[in-house]
Amino acid sequence: MDICKFSLPEIIFGRGSMQYVGSYALQLGAKKVFVVSDHGLESTGWVGKLLNILDKSSLKWVYYANVSPNPRDHEVHEGAELYQREDADVVIALGGGSPLDMGKGVATVVSNGGIIQDYEGANLITNPLPPMIFLPSTAGSGSDISQFAIITDVQRQVKMSLISRSLTPNVSIIDPDMLNTADDALIVSSAVDALSHAIESYVSRIAHALTETQAIKAIQLILDNLAPALQTRDPLALENLSIAAIAAGMSFSNACLGADHAIAHSLGGFFDTSHGMVHPVLLPAVMRYNLPACEEKMALIGELILGQRLRSARQTAEAGITRLEEFFYEFGTASRFREIVDDQAAFPQICEMATRDACLLTNPRAATAEDLLRICQEVW
């Protein structure tokens, strides 16, 4: 094993844990909080509840909700201006990956200056960020745990990956009750996102014992709990999906990802597609491509999916991937790119850009733009 790192935020987990957000903000020295969320979460009532808690803690706040589903560079800069104009001192983000990544973007720009593009890549953030408290409303993005932020550069049509220890929030308050207001589509796309984090980070070139344990735990929990969570909104199943997202976040934040995410970022920058839609199409194809480079690990994933081991590692791995496709299909996800984007012509450019994404560095099998294009064509 090479030298590896493992870090994560302080996690507060449990139903009703949102109530502690005020005391944590005060502990972190907050006087005026910059709150990020989006209009969807306002309508569920969670934003109002959060602001009430801040009021009861006698905290001032300023609220920002100009956040696209794939958050954009100019939205970050607008948020940063508001933060500075209002003299805020702590960032609280409530939402799925988009408001959380927006919180990271704003925190980066207000403390390090310049524009968000200056920090694209790994370890380019030097000044400490203002304290961040995150409240994830979905069980999927892992942004509440991870060192990653994904922001779209609108002009270049690319989702930039920012990776830095500083992007891990100080505290994540994870309240599975928030999943009660999520609709089926959101629960599925979030779980699929978490599953792709777990699978890609498990076979990553820099996976290690501490991340692998988490990845395996996440895969098992999602396979076991997604159906009951949808069918009956069983609180225990929802809680387990939350735990799965945390475990997957611990894994990918420290072991990074692979070709599926590299292409998904590139595709998302171009077509503004969401991760949750892309993975069911792309992940099985990427797993097949990677299989020769990590047969035993793919077999272990296969064993989790199938509930048994077949005659050989290769057979188990292959049958597992096929069963995974059926698993996705049962939840009504797309299985071909043509179902979610309308133009195949951009794929060569998308795959070319994907080769420059940091996630490709840790893919278990080397891949050129041509390799990536072949993967995409297979599932057109």
Q: Is 164 in the site for a second copy (CB under 8 A)?
A: no
Closest to a second copy by CB, 250 or 317: 250
Q: 């179902």: which residue's tokens?
A: 339
Cβ-Cβ contacts under 8 Å for 21 (sequence gap 6 or more): 50, 53, 54, 92, 133, 135, 173
Residue 194 vs 243, nearer CB to a second copy: 243
* 3-class SS letters over 98-152: HHHHHHHHHHHHHHHCCCHHHHCEECCCCCCCCCEEEEECCCCCCCCCCCEEEEE
Interacting positions 97-116 with a second copy (CB under 8 A): none
Nearer to a second copy, 173 or 277 (CB): 173
> Does residue number 353 form part of the binding site for a second copy (CB under 8 A)?
no
Handedness of CA 346, 117, 152, 335 (dihedral sign): positive
Is residue 331 involved in binding a second copy (CB under 8 A)? no
Site track 193-212 with a second copy (rule: CB under 8 A), x = hit = ---------------xxx--
CB of 156 to a second copy, least distance (A): 32
Q: How far apart are CA 271 and CA 349, in angstroms?
A: 12
Q: Is 89 in the site for a second copy (CB under 8 A)?
A: no
* 5 is a site residue for a second copy (CB under 8 A): yes
Q: Find residue 93's DSSP bridge partners.
A: 36, 134
Site for a second copy in 6-45 (CB under 8 A): 6-17, 20
214 binds a second copy per the rule CB under 8 A:
yes
Secondary structure (3-state) at 270: helix
Cβ closer to a second copy: 18 or 182? 18
CA distance 300 to 244: 18
Which span (149-157, 238-246, 321-329, 336-344) binds a second copy, by CB under 8 A?
Answer: 238-246
Strands 32-36, 90-95: parallel, antiparallel or unpaired by DSSP?
Answer: parallel
Angle of the 313-330 helix axis to the 275-290 helix axis, nearest 10: 160
Total site size for a second copy, rule CB under 8 A: 30
Counting contacts by CB under 8 A, is residue 2 touching a second copy? yes
Q: Decide: is 246 part of the binding site for a second copy (CB under 8 A).
A: yes
Instruction: With H, G, I as helix, E, B as strand and everything else as coil, classify residue 161.
Output: strand
Which parts of this chain interact with a second copy (CB under 8 A)?
A: 1-17, 20, 165, 208-210, 213-214, 217, 239-240, 243, 246-247
